[in-house]
Structure 1
Amino acid sequence: MVFKAVVMAGGKGTRLRPITYSIPKPIIPVAGKACMSYLLDSFYRAGINDVIVTTGYKFEALIKSIIETKNSDQSILFSVEKEPAGTAGSIKLISNFIDDTFVVGSGDILSDFDIKDIINFHKKNNAKITIVLTEVSDPSQFGIVELKNNKITKFLEKPSESETFSHIANTGIYVIEPEILSYIKTVPYDFARDLFPRLLRKNIEIYGYVGKGIWLDTGRPNDLIRANQIMVNKYGKEYNDELIKGKNIIETSSKFDSCQIYNSYIGNSIKIDRDVKIKSSAIYDFVNIEKNVEIENSILMPNVTVRENSKIKNSVIMRDCVIGQDSEIVDSIISPELELKGKSRIYNVSLASKIIEDDI
């Protein structure tokens, strides 16, 4: 049987601003790959080659990125929404392209579940709809469920502390039969707020599958940093050299003199001077790091320059920035194309460059 997959990738990623002012959340890099590429790869491993991507915000950049990086024999159709249709509404708009069981995933969520096993579970139970679940420590940001005998008996979106009855959360990945689309009557329409409660009221059984693999909502900058660390740990190579230790993904062929690297992603065409320390970070293409710089738990996007004797910790530095010498940046986000003078001290702030009105 040939399945189709749908990737929802139309959101603005408001919690990640100012990062998402310049790049849509689904294609923010995680350990060298666009976030949604991990989901596309999981579909590909399950034998799903026909994918529809629903998008809206900064769709040109998203389409270009996905076309350039997708698996060669994976066919992708893009549905561009002029106005947000909601998660379920975006699927309704493309219903003419769906004629059999299909899988839905969120492009801005980091995941690499075994999709084939999820589909087998769905088919084994003759389910009309299956929600993939995971356990979370803070349920307030997610839809939570009550699960009995693999069936969802209760659903609540983003509960308050007093409303919390479970730590089992909706991952935004679903297996659905086409007939379920008939319950989506209007646009915009949301899976969690509208469709699932309606199905439960009509006694339509919703099955729940507890996912096996990595799942992380990269909704905040700290989550994005953690996402890079998780994927480096899973897919990196073990090093135990004098200066390079732990799990690392090192793309560049450059050799670094007296540079310490630990549990990090290092991209292509990187220049690193002597006595540099990089720990639990992601350093992307064409970055230039001068001598005696320390980078920890941070992300440096392409074409960043860090002058000598600077320290960057728990921060995201966007593309084409220059960090002046003897600077210190902690718990902060630096927007693209900013140049900080030497001896700058940036703590717990987001520095934004120009913002295009249409992007807000």
Structure 2
Amino acid sequence: MYIETEQASYSIFKAGRLETRPEEGTHCKFPLVSQVALHRQTVFSKEPVELRLRHVQDRLQPPQLSQRLNGLPVPAVALIGIIVVCFTGHLTMKALILVGGFGTRLRPLTLSVPKPLVDFANKPMILHQIEALKAIGVTEVVLAINYQPEVMLNFLKEFETKIGIKITCSQETEPLGTAGPLALARDKLIDETGEPFFVLNSDVISEYPLKEMIQFHKSHGGEASIMVTKVDEPSKYGVVVMEESTGQVERFVEKPKLFVGNKINAGIYLLDPSVLDRIELRPTSIEKEVFPKIALEKKLYAMVLPGFWMDIGQPKDYIIGLRLYLDSLRKRTSSKLASGTHIVGNVLVDETATIGEGCLIGPDVAIGPGCIVESGVRLSRCTVMRGVRIKKHACISSSIIGWHSTVGQWARVENMTILGEDVHVCDEIYSNGGVVLPHKEIKSSILKPEIVM
């Protein structure tokens, strides 16, 4: 049984029901405590630890339990009361992010940077996940990667200090699927604490209810927890069939023709270290080979994800994901969104961007750092990345404009047009679903969806 505070996690053996009082810390009612073990060491550790006991019934406070301990044994306590454990150590929970490979579905953007570094809502995709992990106490993130690891690490180095979290890389020499990377990173994920660890798919954007997932995982006592999300058309996905009252996963059904449920794997897991013993170091799928076996042993549980969810690994879903994200942002922290007579709906504008007079921006638009939007521009359902210039009276909708690109005067860009880095669209050009590789100049209109190389 675990007791948690903001700073550390503890195990109380032979302890009873947990009772939380946030204003005083975390307390535990117990009939008998035979040993108190801290997160990384027991009280027999040489590191100084402080224990305090508050006895509820008669206010007794034995002196031997209000002292600093330096390798001294603590007598077993046979008192009915509330124990408060105070420790200055840090939680050492870890996470692995499945970064994946070449990101072909998001080309031409991934021709410039690895997919996790593609901007989403004005920051690299992967930073959304890293910040969410940091917020619930994760201290180390392992990136499972087989494509441009040096680019990833060099870019994230500055964020490692800024965010205050350790970022390491586990490099695959060959694609290992979704389970093999866990076996490869085994030594980075487990230590003597035996803490569970997170696994996330880097394409997933959501509200990341990770704290709730920790509580769920501890409550059911299983070996693995997965996040699931509800979908309208389950026949397109692999469906997770589960016991609704307990969350226990019964089986997985791939693209069912008959309705068996409407919940699918959301790509967020919390796993006990013992799961690693089930995985061989070879290309293998955690969803198809590992989880079904755990489910057969009734040790796999599913938590229904509250709020929005989207796999943004391809342009259409990226645009939908931006809408869902901005809607969620308004509900949580609306002050981060732009406002004014020129703004319609949810719009995110970096503070270093400039917007000219007579523009109409929104809904569902993200404008990145250093962008210049000249007068009379119309933007809707689109992302405009760092350093882009949109000239007078241009119109952009349902599109992604890559870094440092230019859209000319009176140009019209729509219908899932994707401009790579440093693309220049000339004045009065029309793009209807063009996918343009980096460093190109578009001098003639693109009348139907096509790739411009």
TM-score calculated relative to the size of structure 1: 0.90
Distance (Å, rounded) in 2 between the aligned partners of 1:339 and 1:141: 38
Give, in angstroms, the shift of residue 144 of structure 1.
1.6
Deviates more, 1:9-18 or 1:187-196: 9-18
* Cα distance change, pair 215–64 in 1 and its aligned pair in 2 (3 A): farther
| Map of 1:276 onto structure 2 | 377
* Cα distance change, pair 327–83 in 1 and its aligned pair in 2 (3 A): same
| Map of 1:358 onto structure 2 | none
Select which of 332, 335, 341 maps to 1:242: 341
2:442 aligned partner, one-letter code: L
- Work out the number of aligned pairs and report it: 348
1:1-150 superposed matches below 5 A: 1=9, 2=91, 3-70=93-160, 71-97=162-188, 98-99=190-191, 100=194, 101-139=196-234, 142-148=237-243, 149-150=246-247
- Residues 135-156 of structure 1 deviation map (CA, whole Å, 9 limit, x = unaligned): 1233355432111031000113
Select which of 417, 421, 440 maps to 1:315: 417
2:313 aligned partner, one-letter code: G
| Map of 2:435 onto structure 1 | 333
- Equivalent position SS for 2:354: coil
Give, in angstroms, the shift of residue 255 of structure 1.
4.5
Structure 2 portions without partners, runs of 5+? 1-8, 10-90
Distance (Å, rounded) in 1 between the aligned partners of 2:112 and 2:370: 23
* Cα distance change, pair 28–66 in 1 and its aligned pair in 2 (3 A): same
- Residues 216-238 of structure 1 deviation map (CA, whole Å, 9 limit, x = unaligned): 11132111122223323333645
Say if 2:99 and 2:144, in contact at 8 Å, map to a contact too.
yes
Deviates more, 1:54-63 or 1:320-329: 54-63
Say if 1:295 and 1:312, in contact at 8 Å, map to a contact too.
yes
- Residues 8-44 of structure 1 deviation map (CA, whole Å, 9 limit, x = unaligned): 1023333334443333222221110111211112111
* Cα distance change, pair 90–225 in 1 and its aligned pair in 2 (3 A): same
Distance (Å, rounded) in 1 between the aligned partners of 2:184 and 2:115: 22
Distance (Å, rounded) in 1 between the aligned partners of 2:184 and 2:438: 35
- Equivalent position SS for 2:179: helix
2:401 aligned partner, one-letter code: L
Say if 1:112 and 1:215, in contact at 8 Å, map to a contact too.
yes
1:241 aligned partner, one-letter code: G
- Residues 80-130 of structure 1 deviation map (CA, whole Å, 9 limit, x = unaligned): 111112211100111122132111111122233110110111001112101
| Map of 2:361 onto structure 1 | 261
TM-score calculated relative to the size of structure 2: 0.72
Say if 1:145 and 1:170, in contact at 8 Å, map to a contact too.
yes
Say if 1:109 and 1:217, in contact at 8 Å, map to a contact too.
yes
- Equivalent position SS for 1:66: helix
Deviates more, 1:128-137 or 1:253-262: 253-262
1:151 aligned partner, one-letter code: Q
Say if 2:149 and 2:169, in contact at 8 Å, map to a contact too.
no
- Equivalent position SS for 1:281: strand
Structure 1 portions without partners, runs of 5+? 354-360
* Cα distance change, pair 330–233 in 1 and its aligned pair in 2 (3 A): farther
Say if 1:113 and 1:214, in contact at 8 Å, map to a contact too.
no
Say if 1:324 and 1:344, in contact at 8 Å, map to a contact too.
no
| Map of 1:152 onto structure 2 | 249
Give, in angstroms, the shift of residue 212 of structure 1.
1.9
Deviates more, 1:113-122 or 1:95-104: 95-104
- Residues 244-298 of structure 1 deviation map (CA, whole Å, 9 limit, x = unaligned): 2322221125341222212321222222222211112221222112212101122
Identity of aligned residues (%): 27
* Cα distance change, pair 83–163 in 1 and its aligned pair in 2 (3 A): farther
- Residues 276-326 of structure 1 deviation map (CA, whole Å, 9 limit, x = unaligned): 111122212221122121011222121111111110113221110001111
| Map of 1:208 onto structure 2 | 302
Say if 2:338 and 2:346, in contact at 8 Å, map to a contact too.
yes
Deviates more, 1:161-170 or 1:301-310: 161-170
Say if 2:360 and 2:376, in contact at 8 Å, map to a contact too.
yes
2:301 aligned partner, one-letter code: Y
1:258 aligned partner, one-letter code: G
Say if 1:132 and 1:170, in contact at 8 Å, map to a contact too.
yes
Distance (Å, rounded) in 1 between the aligned partners of 2:105 and 2:355: 37
Select which of 197, 211, 220 maps to 2:292: 197
Distance (Å, rounded) in 1 between the aligned partners of 2:236 and 2:110: 19
Deviates more, 1:113-122 or 1:139-148: 139-148
Distance (Å, rounded) in 1 between the aligned partners of 2:169 and 2:140: 11
Say if 1:238 and 1:245, in contact at 8 Å, map to a contact too.
no
Distance (Å, rounded) in 2 between the aligned partners of 1:310 and 1:63: 38
Distance (Å, rounded) in 2 between the aligned partners of 1:338 and 1:228: 26
- Equivalent position SS for 1:65: helix
2:113 aligned partner, one-letter code: I
Q: Larger C-alpha radius of gyration, 1 or 2?
A: 2
Specify which structure has the bigger relative contact order, considering alpha-carbon pairs within 8 angstroms and separated by 6 or more residues: 1
Say if 2:358 and 2:377, in contact at 8 Å, map to a contact too.
yes
